[in-house]
A and B are shown apart, each in its own frame.
Chain A
Amino acid sequence: MRNLRTTLFLGTATLLLSASPMSPAHAAPGDGYVRLAHLSPDTPEVDVYLYSAGKKTPRLVLRHVGYGALSPYQRLGTGSYTVMMRPADAPATSKPVLSTNVRVQSGDSYTVAGMGPYKGIKLDILKDTADLPAGRAGVRVIAASLKQPALNVTAGGQSLADGLQLANATPYRVLDAAPKTIRVQGRKGDAVSLRLPLRAGALHTVVVLDGKKGLRLLDQRDARQSAQTPKGGVDTGLGGLAVQTPWWQALAMAGLALWFSGRARARGFDGRSRARWFSGRARSADGQARPQP
């Protein structure tokens, strides 16, 4: 026990002293991304407001956002934000018809969408990131059609959704990274398809909307990650610029080490002395106080 404690003491001192240009690891938070969407088939146009939580002035206003519109991703610092939707051209100070808070975390993407029929419209927050196995792609489906309220979706013969209802989103399904035909079929047999060039590491969202004649499919390329992820870091340095420990630092380290071990020995730093420090008495197993031997 004595040796372990001494070693830890000396080890810490050595580490602190040998800090040759030891860089402080930045804990700076990164950014996240948010996009806004209007996916309610029978809701009229809205103005969308994005506020930093607690602020009265919006940092972003999108005007006359109609059914089927998705904004580009907005890069935002990590933190809390409020999204409000008001009827198009309603005053900025009027009460919103929809409001939600979204917490943005570093490196994550979100879609904040008005979903569902007018009578039950709600603001949903979808997380747009997923872990993909190396070299694969991911596709999810959002049902936003009132005319076909239940959908069956396949991709190259593989089922992505079965009876997906309006205002619902599937999770990302993992697929091979190869061009795939997405086929969407409603209850009454109307079918529509879209060819997706799925690249390795890509995440797509297919939004099913009401078009002029039947269903309309929208492909959103949500994000892409590196097709391959190397293990660990990179050895990109050969030492030509490395700083040597200055002689005075090495001497100080040695001096401190000697001093600490000297102090430890003088104090009789061993198991027996600990008991003495805590109290003059020891308690035996039966709880009776007995004088120290």
Chain B
Amino acid sequence: MKRLVLALLAAAALTGCGGEQATAPPPANWKAVPGQVAEPSPTPSARAYADPVEIRIPALGVRSRLERLRTDAHGVLSTPRDPARAGWFAGGVRPGEQGPAVIAGHVDSRTGPGVFAKLRDLRPGSEIQVVDAKGSVVRFASREVRVHPKALFPSADVYGPTPDAELRLITCGGAFDRARGHYADNVVAYAVRA
């Protein structure tokens, strides 16, 4: 019984629910200072970017103008018309601004490689550059590449809130269903503003 209680206490301490308040006697000169005026840290003003027009991934030899992607009548993200061109989801975040910007590209055409054919091989730390309509360049660094079955697509991870400027690159992978003409998986590369 005693061991169980100790184990539970240890577990509670580790999970940090509500927080441990381990206080200690403070030094002698540590006391209340009434009437303090707040000194907030200066918040860097967020830079605004125009709509993106080009993406470059030097490590993969990718350089592509960007189409604008929207959702179709069913709410599904439409795909670029040209397999050699990537597209930016214009209903979301602009690359460089706070939040998750999304760019999708085909892994292949009917006959050969597409713009994002090698996306799965993107190594952590690789640079991705996005150029906006005014010529500003935003740089991102790849962090990881994950593969998800389309049936279990992690929308919250891909489109959910982030405190910083992030980028997700999406293409296809996994088994190809010839009858339906679609791949089973999505390959998602996650990158953060460098």
Interface residues of A (CB under 8 A from B): 18, 20-26, 28, 30-31, 33, 41-44, 53, 66-71, 73, 75, 80, 87, 90, 94-103, 106-107, 109, 117-119, 122-125, 128-130, 132, 144, 146, 201-203, 207, 209-212, 216, 218-243
Contact = CB atoms under 8 A, between A and B. Distances in A.
Interface in B44-100: 46, 71, 74-77, 79-80, 83, 89, 91-93, 97-100
Nearest to B91: A228
B14 A239 contact: no
16 contacts: A26-B146, A28-B144, A43-B32, A67-B37, A68-B38, A99-B20, A100-B19, A103-B15, A118-B31, A129-B160, A225-B100, A225-B159, A232-B150, A234-B172, A235-B150, A242-B178
A219 B29 CA distance: 33
A69 B33 contact: no
Lowest 4 CB-CB distances: which A-B pairs, in order?
A: A68-B38, A101-B16, A237-B172, A242-B176
Nearest to A231: B75
Contacts of B23: 97-99
B102 to A, nearest CB: 7
Contacts of B178: 239, 242
Contacts of B161: 109, 129-130, 132, 201, 203, 222-225
Interface string B147-191: 111100101110111111000001111111010011101110010
B139 to A, nearest CB: 17
A28 B146 contact: yes
A220 B14 contact: no
A70 B41 contact: yes
B57 to A, nearest CB: 15
A202 B181 CA distance: 37
Contacts of B113: 240-241
A241 B172 CA distance: 11
Nearest to A216: B38
B76 A230 contact: yes
A143 to B, nearest CB: 13
Given A101-B16, A221-B98, A95 B162 contact: no
Given A69-B41, A102-B16, A227-B91, A97 B30 contact: yes
Contact of A26 (B25, B93, B145): B145
B131 interface: no
Which of B23, B46, B161, B185: most chain A CB closer than 10 A? Answer: B161
Interface residues of B, number: 94
Interface in B86-125: 89, 91-93, 97-100, 102, 104-114, 116-117, 120
A126 to B, nearest CB: 11
B23 to A, nearest CB: 6
Given A42-B34, A122-B21, A236-B171, A26 B40 contact: no
Contacts of B105: 236
Which of A94, A124, A231: most chain B CB closer than 10 A? Answer: A231
A42 B100 contact: no
A53 B111 CA distance: 52
Contact of A233 (B43, B74, B75, B150): B150
Contacts of B21: 98-100, 122-123
Nearest to B149: A25
A67 B14 CA distance: 28
B36 A67 contact: yes
A89 to B, nearest CB: 10
Contacts of B25: 95
B13 interface: yes
B176 A239 contact: yes
B93 A20 contact: no
B34 A239 contact: no
A239 B110 contact: yes
B22 interface: yes
